[in-house]
Chain A
Amino acid sequence: MMMSVTLRSLDVRSLGIRLAVAAAILLQLGGAHAHAEETNVMIDNFTFEPAQLTVKVGTTVTWKNRDDIPHIVVSAGKFRSKALDTDDSYSFTFTAAGDYKYFCSLHPHMTGMIKVE
């Protein structure tokens, strides 16, 4: 771990904080195995943001539509949302590695990709 505790420091409070940070980081790392990761793609102004996203296998990606117009998120043969009205969202969990190109089937100029590693 990079978080080597410097025992030379006699500041007990500082040491305590460092230990707490280390513990938090360990918890987070442990959580990566115990719980699937989650991340979002925002739909704003007829654009997927980020348009390209790299995630680990097992990650759940949630698309949220913040436009005043519905969108449908489609990756041919892989996943397809229902029509997402304003503030609706759609989630898909990626269980296999690969490049998942997707688009909005209502506004096909809207495209994006999820790289799953």
Chain B
Amino acid sequence: MISFRNIGTIARYERRILFRSWFFRIFAILTLFFIGLFSGVTMFERGPFTWMFRSLPSIVIYSNFFLLNIAQSVIAVFLATDFIKRDKKLDTSEVLFIRPMSNFEYITGKTMGLLWVFILLNLLLAALTSVYIFISDQVPFRLIPFMAYFFLVSLPSLIFITGLSFALMTVIKNQAITFIILLGYIALELFYLGNRPGYIFDYMVFAMPVPFSDIIGFSNAGYLIWHRATYLLLGSGLILFSAWRLKRIPNSQGNNILVLISTLVLLSLSVVGFSEMIRQNKKVINNREAYAGLSTKNYSVKAPLMKEASINIELGETIDAVSTMVLKNPFDETLDTLLFSINPGFIVEKVTCGGEGAFFLQDRLLLKVVPSKDFLPGDITTIEVCYSGIPDFDVSYLDIDHEDVYGHVQAMNIRIDKKYGFYTNNYILLTKENLWYPVPGIAYDPSRPAIFRQQFTKFGLSVKVRPGMVPVSQGVRQTDDSLLYRFNIRDPLPQLSLAVSDFEEKKIDIDGIEVGIAWYRGHDYFNNQLEELGDTIKNLISEFLDDYERPLGMYYPYRKFTLVEAPVQFASQPHSWTAALQQSQPQMVYYPEGGFNIRQADFKSNYRMIKRDSDRNKEGLTKKEIQARVFTNFMNGVLGEENADIRFGPPGTSSQSNPYSIYPNYYYYVNYITSEECPVLNYAFESYLRKGEDDPRQIFMSRAMGLGNDEKANLLLKEKSLKRVIAEEEDQQQINNVLRVKGSYLLTWMEKQINDSNFDQFLLDYLYNNSYKEIKFRQLESDISNRFSIKMGNFLTNWYNESDLPAFGLGNFEVKEVIENSQAFFVVKTKVTNFSSVDGLVKFSFQLGGGGGGRGGGFFMGGGAEQETEERIYLIDGNQTKEFQMLLDESPRSVIFNTLLSQNIPVSSMEWGLRAEKDENGKAEEYERIVEKPVELSLPGELIADNTDHNFEVFDPSLENPIRKFFESRRKEKEEEFVRGEFGPPPTTWKKVANSDYFGKIEHSAMVVRSGDGSKTAAWKMPIKEAGYYDVYVFLERQRGFGPGRGRDRRDPPGKFVYTVAHDDGTEKIGLEVKDFEDGWNLLGSFYISSDTAKVVLSDEGGADRVIADAVKWVLQR
């Protein structure tokens, strides 16, 4: 008979003992302090990077429990082992051991005591979090996430680690060894085990993403509960094991046997739990493999065209649907079997063909229908498919690696799992990826993932929902009664999506387009933030569209656009045939609930910041004006080309496009260009037409963040052709980068070849006239040839199959203001050498006029004045040097030199602060001419050694350390060749960093290392042919204070670079203060050098934040 009284007594005093221990108190105070500080910052700082914590009620709770869980795991190990150790001090515990309690009661009491203090800590943290939530008034208070994280995350973790600690301690009997083993285990869990498939070993839910959506709660609730129950059972089993192993004679042998049996039962149940988790994970993998296998097996089956599809769907416990498709046989042969893909969770109940019952066979996601009569070439027939069931979302993205599909998105310490569709009581979201309606053919061709067939279908949709639910889909919605909704969809679409929830909606008409937003009831955090706007909002949206469409030269093709709120877990994967992501659907964009992680959706903070700037600059903006800016920023950020989501990094650095961009509505959902020779051509067009202008921000960010995507793509293309990249490259993001770069190059080349300003318009008109249908590239090429009299020849084939890249050297810019016919013109002269044997294109983009842009503030906030830009594109043959003079109407402020597809690193460089000099004799003319003399970096008498030269070397003694060597040799991941620039932490050993401001011919780079004790060095050597006095210079970049440090440190960066110059009288040490650096060559001094080899050594002493080794120049004094 268990005495709960005894358990209670032991727990009561054990917790008192624990609670009075300074170790626990200090730990608890520190934990609460640091977590409180962190969450305080996130809740009250209100900057763009902490918005994610304030966008959803549960995120700050998740974050706090996540941090607490790690801390308490470590401390629980210590306290639990200490507990058992205390029992070994026999004389204290013996007076308790002789009491009539059972071992089970004793250990359980101890466990309860231990848990109690941690539960108290959890409660304190929950109270603190609640206070923050109430005081900050940013998110509504929700009790369920608190309970969910406590019961599902914190408590099972505690019980497990306590049980494990008890058990190990009773076996090993040495606290120090037990402690070390357990800490090692925790470290292993944090850095390795936790991330294993299915998060099976992730006892503390460190790696497993468990965001709690306000709409659907946990997306993986079933698995999570199973997982946590398993660890709870295992922990409880281990606790009982400790009771069984306790070094105390039990009250009776029977008791002990009962404890042993209970231990075995609990441990067995946990084994069952683990097995089930493994089984569930395997099942998903096996299912996906099977689905992919079926698709592969049937890829050669010819699929009909789906001209029309009318889908009638009833949403209840399960989906009951009828899809009526009008199909056409586009082939020259009769189709005897019609192949469709459908979600494998659905059971197809009936198929009719032309009104008659048809023989069909469903094998998971494949539906084969034998038409009742021959489906002849060109024939049209009607197929009706009745199906029902609950969708299996594992069928989504069969072309993407399992790990990517079931991975997570990390935003600070928060992990969000990826879900591609939902079918819950509160929310239903179905996209084409889920195959929620039958589509002809296979969903995915594993052998040729880049080959994808787009079909444009005239859809019809009717949805019957449960009471209280509202469906949102493409087309105009009508309803007869409150439950049945019909969607009239005017245009053919490549895909349909359906969201059903308790939506509230707001719609306005803007120039014939119904623009609306549908948010989950209660999630309206924005209307009162934009209340002043009133009808102005229409103008703002209209302006946004104008601004967005102007560079594209295209118009929004639909009459409807809706922003629909989706659970935070909704994610997408990039396909290899398009940049469109499933968040952006035809006519609608699914935004993450509460605007999670979209900094522009943080209306309150953005309002405050704009107001602050307005006050500071004495702009005197009204509330309405500020709200207008906030809203415009939101539109630009979320729907425009900027990366709204900080998960994907600042603009230009992300390897993924903005998932919420409406761009797919302009090309991918409207046009489709196919080519037999080059299957990725459609993607190339999609990329090119999205081009926009060269963005100074990209250059700025890429130099701060390391190599940009263009450079990464070029590095890959230097090694292999586009064809090989698509065939061999595993990193989908890299393929996307390459396709974008190559696509842009292809169209730029065509544009240059055609050399007709009407080409762009021709292309846009052509696409418009061929909307919603397949365009064969050969036809397009022929139409272009007819219109512009050019031949593409083998260009496309070479473009697809060859890998050589040009390499360009850029000369200096001269800007002159010339007057002609009393009008001022500006001419910019420069020259470019193509140092390779391959032809290539270069592009100059000038930013004209004054105002806006510029360095520093305003870069990312979307403010600033409109800038006029002007572009020039030139073709330069291999080993050719060309001189250009470009004529501009306005004074250029800066120019971006973009080498597009080349060996150049970085691909683009920017020349800031161009200043025009008056030239009274100059001619206002534009020319492009071949010259003999290539671009040279050095003048006569100058000897330059760059970090890319063979006579430059770096030395780091720590690399010789055998332990480091061992770990380096075991490192599996290929390290990036280039590290991040100023925003990144300086590396501990010499690494390359790219920056167009660095010295270089093709590659503008330098070596960088963290400041140290002087043992790491970089040395430049130069053979000297002529003895004499040499001025010795080093190439440096003025420190602009983007890196770490604040205030004075940023303006006057501390430290110096210490150079040792070798000369005839020995060596001389020279320190250059970092704050005194000037851009370009900085003089070290003059030295008499007659030896064969001149040498300059830079060491890592000097106390600068980072030490940079770029180039050294010796100039002979004449």
A binds B: no
